[in-house]
Amino acid sequence: MAQMLNIALPKGRLGEKVYSMFEKAGFECPSIKENNRKLIFENEELGVRYFWVKPSDVAIYVERGAADIGVAGKDILLEYEPEVYELLDLDTGKCRMAVAGPKGFKDDIRHTLRVATKFSKIAQDYYSSLGRDIDIIHLNGSIELAPILDLSDVIVDIVETGTTLKENNLEVISTIVPISARLIANKSSYKFKSEKIDRLVKALASQKED
Ligand code: PRP
C-alpha cells in the first residue's frame, strides 16, 4: 500500500482553489468533490488523505502531526509562529495585513493608541518596531465595528478588496505585511515523507510559473 500523506486544507473558497492546484499536481481525490458534509476524504491508490479544517486551525494540525502538510495563511504563521516548515508560497489567497481607521485619522502620540484586532502579536510587533505604545483590544471578528463605536482608535486586520473598510467609512492607514497562502509541513513528516512531499512541492511550484 502506498505511504499515506495527510493533508489539511482550509475549509472554504481558498481551500477549494488550493485543492484544484493539488489535483493538477497529481494528488487528486475525486470523492472530495461530492458535495456533502464529510470532512475527510481518501484516495487509497495514490496514498493521499485530505481533511477540511477551519483555516485558522490548519497550522495546529500540522504542528502536532495530525496532518503531514497543510495550507495556511501567512497571517496565521506570523501570529502563532507554529513550529512547522514553510515550503512554498502558493501565490493565492492574496491580501494584506493593514492598520485602518476612520477617514482622516491622525495619531495623537500623547495618548496610548487603542488597537482592536484578531492579530494581537502582529499588531504588537508592528507597533513595537515603531516604538509606539499601544493598548491591544483583542476581538474575534467584526473588527471594523471597534473604531465606529469608539472601542478603539484603529484596527489591525486583513484587507482584501477593501470593501469592508469602505462600507464602514474606514480607510487603510498603513500596510504592515502582504499575505498569501503557504504550504507548510510537519517537521518530522518532512523527514520521513520527503520524497512524496518534494514531488508535490515541485509540481505546485511549476504551476505557479505557468
Ligand atoms: C476578513 C477581514 C475583513 C474582510 C476584508 O474577514 O477581517 O473583515 O475579510 O475583506 P475585504 O477587504 O475584501 O472587504 P473574513 O471574511 O475573512 O472573516 P472574519 O470576519 O471572521 O474575520
Per-residue pLDDT tens digits for 77-88: 999 999 999 999
Q: Residues with Cβ within 6 A of ligand 1?
A: 141, 143, 157-164
Confidence of residue 59 (pLDDT cuts 50, 70, 90): very high
Q: Please tell me the distance from the alpha carbon of residue 44 to that of residue 27, in angstroms, as a whole number.
A: 11
Q: In the prediction, which pLDDT does 195 show?
A: 96
Q: Is residue 206's pLDDT more than 80?
A: yes
Q: Which cell goes with 178?
A: 502582504
Q: What is the mean pLDDT of residues 14-19?
A: 96
Q: Is residue 209's pLDDT more than 90?
A: no
CA–centroid distance, 22 to ligand 1, in Å, is 25
- Please classify residue 77 by burial: count the beta carbons closer than 10 Å to its beta carbon, then call 0-12 exposed, 13-18 middle and 19+ buried: middle
Q: In the prediction, which pLDDT does 3 show?
A: 85
Q: Please tell me the distance from the alpha carbon of residue 75 to that of residue 155, in angstroms, as a whole number.
A: 15
Question: Which protein residue has the closest C-alpha to ligand 1 atom 1?
Answer: 158
Question: Which protein residue has the closest C-alpha to ligand 1 atom 20?
Answer: 141
Q: In the prediction, which pLDDT does 34 show?
A: 85
Q: What is the mean pLDDT of residues 121-125?
A: 98
Question: Which protein residue has the closest C-alpha to ligand 1 atom 22?
Answer: 141
Q: Is residue 1's pLDDT more than 80?
A: no
Global pTM reads 0.94
Q: Which of 117, 122, 164, 179 to mutate to test the pocket of ligand 1 (most atoms within 8 A of CB)?
A: 164
Helix (H, G, I), strand (E, B) or coil at 118: coil
Q: In the prediction, which pLDDT does 176 show?
A: 98
Q: Please tell me the distance from the alpha carbon of residue 1 to that of residue 128, in angstroms, as a whole number.
A: 52
CA–centroid distance, 159 to ligand 1, in Å, is 7
Q: Is residue 50's pLDDT more than 90?
A: yes
Q: Is residue 16's pLDDT more than 90?
A: yes
Crossing angle of helices 194-209 and 13-24, rounded to 10°: 100
Q: Which residues contact 176 (CB under 8 A, 6 or more apart)?
A: 96, 97, 98, 99, 122, 126, 156
Q: What is the mean pLDDT of residues 133-159?
A: 97
